[in-house]
C-alpha cells in the first residue's frame, strides 16, 4: 500500500493493521514508553540530510548545509546530522551549549539572533571557531567590546516576498531581522572600525514553509550583487554565501513542496551563473534548513480519552496531549494529518475533530478529519509531521509534563528525551519559608 507523502520514510502497516515506524509497532512502543510520545524516524532524517548533501555536492561542491537547530535542538539529532556532514545554526546559549556538550565541531557552528546578549556572543567566541551572523548595530558594538577576533557574516533583509504565514516570514523589508539595504553601508563602516571582526560573507533568510523556488534565486542575486558592490568598495574578502533555510514540507495532501534536490539544483545553478556574470571566486554556499530535515521524521502518538458529539454537530475526540506539545495549530492555524495507529488499514468513514487536553477552547489539533468510524478510548491517534517546531516550542501549560521522544530505527527504540515527571515540574519552584506550613 502506498502511504501518503507526509508519513516518515520507514512507515509501514503490519499484519495486525498497526502502524510501524523504524520497524517498531507504535502500539508496542507506547506500551513500553507511554503516551503522548514523540517518535523520531532516524531513516527519514538521514535520507533527507543525504538528499541535501548529495545534491549540493553534485551541483555545487563548495558547500555546507547547516541544521537550523531551533527546529529540534537535541543532542541525538545534532549527532546524527554531524555524521551526515552538516553544520549547525544556533540562536541561543542553550542551543550552543547542547552542541558543545557533544563536541560538535565549532567551525561548523553559526550563531544567529536579533538580540544576542554579550554573554552569548562571548560563549560563541570562546567555543573557538564558531562564526557569528551579525544581525544589527548592537551586535557590532558588543563584539567590539569583547574585542576578540571572530569570523562573521552580515545578515541582510533582502525584501523578497514569499507566500507563507505572516509570523514565519522574515525576508520582507518590514522585519525585525537583519540590515535593510539602506543601512548596509553604515553597518560595513562600523565593522571596518571594529578590527576584531573579520567579515567573511553575507546571509539572508526569507521565511519558512516555502513552496516556491524563485525566491531562492532572487535571494542569491541580491546577496551576490551586494557581495560584489561592498567587497570592491571596502576591499573585503567574502568567501561565504548563506541563503538561509525555509523549504516547506507536506503536512497534508494539500501541500506540494518541490523536492530538495530540485531546489538545490536550481539554487546552485543560479549561484554558478551569477558567479560567472560577476567574475567571482566561488564562495562556500551555505543553506540552513530546519523543518525540512526533521519535520516529517517526527510523529506524535496520543491516546484517545473522552469523546462527545455536539447536537447536530461535530464528533470531538479528546487526546492526552495538545497545544503544549504542539503549539503550531493554535499559533499559526497549522494543519496536520493523522491516522489511528491500531486501525491503520481501516477505511476512513467518519469525520472527527481531534481536541487537545488543555484548558483552552482553541486547543484543537485537527478540525474535521476523516478517520475510521467507531474510535474508542485507548485508540492511538498519530499526528504526522511533528518533528519540527513541536518539542522545540513546547511548554508546561497547565503543568503537564512534556512527553518523551524515542528514536526508532531497524526495530530498535532509544529514548533521546526523557519524559518529564511531576517532580520536574516543581523543581524550580521556591516556597518562601514564611509561606511554608
Active site residues: 359
Cα–Cα dist 276/424, whole Å: 57
Q: Which residue has the cell 541561543?
A: 92
Question: Binding string to ligand LLP for residues 13 to 52, with x set by CB under 6 A, is what?
Answer: ----------------------------------------
Nearer to ligand LLP, 114 or 307 (CB): 114
d(C-alpha 22, C-alpha 100), whole Å = 29
Residue from 291, 357, 402, 419 that binds ligand LLP (CB under 6 A)?
A: 291
- Cβ 158 to ligand LLP shortest distance, Å: 12
Q: Rounded to an integer, what distance in angstroms lies between the CA atom of residue 424 and that of residue 418?
A: 11
Q: With CB under 6 A as the rule, give the number of residues binding ligand LLP.
A: 22
The distance in angstroms from the start CA to the end CA of the chain is 62
The residues that bridge with 241 in the sheet, in sequence order, are 202, 285
User: Per CB under 6 A, does 246 bind ligand LLP?
Assistant: yes
Positions in 326-355 near ligand LLP (CB under 6 A): 328, 332
Residue 208 interacts with ligand LLP (CB under 6 A): yes or no: yes
- Least CB distance from residue 246 to ligand LLP, whole Å? 4
SS3 percent helix, strand, coil of the chain, rounded to 5, is 35, 25, 40
Asked if 71 touches ligand LLP (CB under 6 A), the answer is yes
Binding flag, residue 245, ligand LLP (CB under 6 A): yes
CA 86-90-92 angle, to 5 degrees, is: 160
Q: Can residue 89 be called a binding residue for ligand LLP (CB under 6 A)?
A: yes
> Nearest approach, Cβ of 99 to ligand LLP (angstroms)?
15
Q: How far is the CB of 306 from ligand LLP (least distance, A)?
A: 28
- Site membership for ligand LLP, residue 290 (CB under 6 A): yes
Regarding 112 and contact with ligand LLP (CB under 6 A), the answer is yes
Minimum gap (Å) between residue 77 Cβ and ligand LLP: 13
**Collapsed DSSP state (helix, strand, coil) of residue 22:** coil
Cβ proximity to ligand LLP, 125 vs 133, nearer residue: 133
169 binds ligand LLP (CB under 6 A): no
- Find residue 287's DSSP bridge partners: 65
Find the shortest distance in angstroms from Cβ 414 to ligand LLP: 24
Residue 158 as a binder of ligand LLP (CB under 6 A): the answer is no
Q: Which of 95, 389, 403, 416 binds ligand LLP (CB under 6 A)?
A: 389
- CA distances from residue 166 to 169, 208, 318, 356 in whole angstroms, order as listed: 5, 10, 29, 25
CA dihedral 266→269→271→275, nearest 10 degrees, is -170
- Binding window for ligand LLP (CB under 6 A); candidates: 257-265, 271-279, 287-295, 420-428: 287-295
Own/partner contacts of 224-232, CB < 8 Å, gap of 24 or more, are 224/271, 224/274, 224/275, 224/278, 224/280, 225/278, 226/156, 226/181, 226/184, 226/202, 227/201, 227/202, 227/278, 227/280, 227/283, 228/278, 228/280, 230/184, 230/185, 230/188
- Residue 406: CA count within 13 A, CB half-sphere: 25
Given 8, 244, 372, 385, the residue binding ligand LLP (CB under 6 A): 244
Please report, as ranges, the residues that interact with ligand LLP according to CB under 6 A. 68, 70-71, 89, 112, 168, 170, 205, 208-209, 244-246, 288-292, 328, 332, 389, 393
Amino acid at each position: 500500500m502506498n502511504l501518503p507523502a507526509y508519513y516518515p520514510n520507514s512507515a509501514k502497516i503490519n499484519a495486525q493493521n498497526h502502524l510501524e515506524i523504524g520497524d517498531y509497532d507504535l502500539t508496542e512502543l507506547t506500551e513500553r514508553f507511554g503516551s503522548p510520545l514523540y517518535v523520531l524516524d532516524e531513516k527519514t532524517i538521514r535520507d533527507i540530510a543525504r538528499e541535501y548533501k548529495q545534491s549540493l555536492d553534485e551541483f555545487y561542491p563548495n558547500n555546507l548545509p547547516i541544521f537550523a537547530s531551533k527546529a529540534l535542538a537535541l543532542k541525538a539529532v545534532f549527532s546524527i546530522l554531524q555524521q551526515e556532514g552538516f553544520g549547525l545554526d544556533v540562536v541561543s546559549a542553550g542551543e550552543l551549549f547542547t552542541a558543545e556538550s557533544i563536541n560538535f565541531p565549532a567551525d561548523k557552528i553559526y550563531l544567529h539572533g536579533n538580540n544576542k546578549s554579550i554573554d552569548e556572543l562571548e560563549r560563541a567566541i570562546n567555543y573557538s571557531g564558531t562564526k557569528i551572523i551579525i544581525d544589527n548595530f548592537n551586535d557590532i558594538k558588543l563584539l567590539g567590546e569583547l574585542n576578540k577576533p571572530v569570523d562573521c557574516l552580515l545578515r541582510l533583509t533582502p525584501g523578497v516576498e514569499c507566500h507563507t504565514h505572516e509570523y514565519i516570514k522574515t525576508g520582507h523589508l518590514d522585519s525585525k531581522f537583519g540590515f535593510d539595504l539602506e543601512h548596509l553601508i553604515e553597518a560595513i563602516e562600523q565593522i571596518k572600525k571594529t578590527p576584531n571582526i573579520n567579515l567573511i560573507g553575507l546571509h539572508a533568510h526569507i521565511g519558512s514553509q516555502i513552496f516556491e523556488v524563485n525566491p531562492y534565486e532572487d535571494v542569491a542575486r541580491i546577496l551576490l550583487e551586494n557581495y560584489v558592490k561592498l567587497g570592491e568598495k571596502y576591499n573585503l574578502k567574502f568567501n561565504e554565501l548563506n541563503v538561509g533555510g525555509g523549504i516547506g514540507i507536506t503536512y497534508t495532501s494539500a501541500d506540494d513542496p518541490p523536492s530538495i534536490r530540485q531546489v538545490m539544483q536550481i539554487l546552485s545553478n543560479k549561484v554558478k551563473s551569477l558567479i560567472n556574470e560577476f567574475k567571482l571566486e566561488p564562495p562556500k554556499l551555505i543553506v540552513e534548513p530546519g523543518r525540512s530535515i526533521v519535520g516529517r521524521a517526527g510523529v506524535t502518538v496520543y491516546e484517545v480519552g473522552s469523546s462527545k458529539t455536539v447536537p447536530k454537530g461535530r464528533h470531538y475526540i479528546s487526546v492526552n496531549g495538545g497545544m503544549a506539545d504542539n503549539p503550531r495549530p493554535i499559533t499559526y492555524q497549522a494543519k496536520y494529518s493523522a491516522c489511528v495507529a491500531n486501525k491503520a488499514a481501516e477505511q476512513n468513514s467518519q469525520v472527527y475533530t481531534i481536541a487537545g487536553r488543555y484548558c483552552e477552547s482553541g486547543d484543537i489539533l485537527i478540525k474535521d478529519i476523516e478517520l475510521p468510524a467507531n474510535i474508542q478510548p485507548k485508540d492511538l491517534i498519530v499526528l504526522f509531521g511533528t518533528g519540527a517546531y513541536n518539542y522545540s516550542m513546547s511548554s508546561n501549560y497547565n503543568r503537564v509534563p512534556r512527553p518523551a521522544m524515542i528514536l526508532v530505527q531497524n526495530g530498535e527504540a532509544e529514548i533521546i528525551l526523557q519524559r518529564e515527571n511531576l517532580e520536574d515540574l516543581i523543581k524550580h519552584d521556591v516556597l518562601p519559608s514564611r509561606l511554608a506550613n
